[in-house]
Amino acid sequence: MRVPVVRDILSANDRIARENRDTFAATRTFVVNLMASPGAGKTSLILATAARLPQDVRPGVVEGDLASRIDADTVAARGIPVVQINTGGNCHLDAPMIRASLGELPLPDIDLLFIENVGNLVCPAEFDLGADLALVVASTPEGHDKPYKYPGMFAAADVVLLNKADVAPVFDFDLDLFRRGVQMVNPGAPLFIVSCKTGAGMDDWVAWLVAECKVER
């Protein structure tokens, strides 16, 4: 009896996601659904990316958390338009939540919108938000086994970033094993190795993202 209920939920979500996609297309806003575990560096990556964007690519952010607006305040302090969504316990954002938040953002003035999903490597992959790009961020302290343990998330990614590369030796992180895991479940996904703290790899990532953004716009 549970399967039809799940299908109904996903079907309703997909309908709103299509509406979101139409709205983003109308305002020429390129949207990234950023998914990762708690502590992988989602907000740090957004800020490090925004700081390296060319002037003609204006960023905005939707922050998703169970509670608080800590990350939203951090983003706002950088002068970036941001809206906070608190899910109140839900382990992911969904399309209706995004739809309800759009009125709080100046979409015509945003070229690149980051949706920072709730920290979770399971549920967010199942819910289409209307984004153009699905970004999965892993980090070296989490371990090199994440693509093997959470294949659904990595399979859903259009691009994968490995963050905190600067501390990989401390955690005996096996980059080759991680890379093979990503390629096994998603052989077409580009993989960028970055450090938000040192800036290593960030220029290549931002150049790739800007190119994707401008192609879509």
* Domains (range + CATH), the chain: 2-216 (3.40.50.300)
pLDDT at residue 217 is higher than 60: no
Task: Give tens-digit pLDDT for 72-94.
Answer: 999 999 999 999 999 987 889 99
Largest pairwise CA distance in the chain? 52
Task: Give tens-digit pLDDT for 165-215.
Answer: 999 999 999 999 999 999 999 999 999 999 999 999 999 999 999 999 987
Residue for token pair 């509406």: 19
Reading the block at residue 146, the tokens are: 């994440």
**Contact between residue 63 and residue 80 where contact means Cβ atoms under 8 Å apart:** no
Cβ atoms within 10 Å of 58's Cβ, excluding its own: 17
Dist CA 146 CA 209 (whole Å):
23
pLDDT at residue 8 is higher than 70: no
Amino acid at 53: L
Task: Give tens-digit pLDDT for 14-59.
Answer: 999 999 999 999 999 999 999 999 999 999 999 999 999 999 999 9
Dist CA 205 CA 149 (whole Å):
25
pLDDT-based confidence at 9, cuts 50/70/90?
low
pLDDT at residue 5 is higher than 90: no
Number of H helices, E strands in the chain: 8, 7
DSSP alpha helix (H) spans, 131-198: 146-149, 151-155, 175-185
**pLDDT the model gives residue 1:** 46
Burial string for 193-211 (b: 16+ CB within 10 Å, else e) reads: bbbbeeeebbeebbeebbe
For the chain, give the mean pLDDT.
Answer: 94
Q: What is the pTM of this model?
A: 0.93
Residue 117 backbone dihedrals phi, psi, to 5 degrees: -70, 165
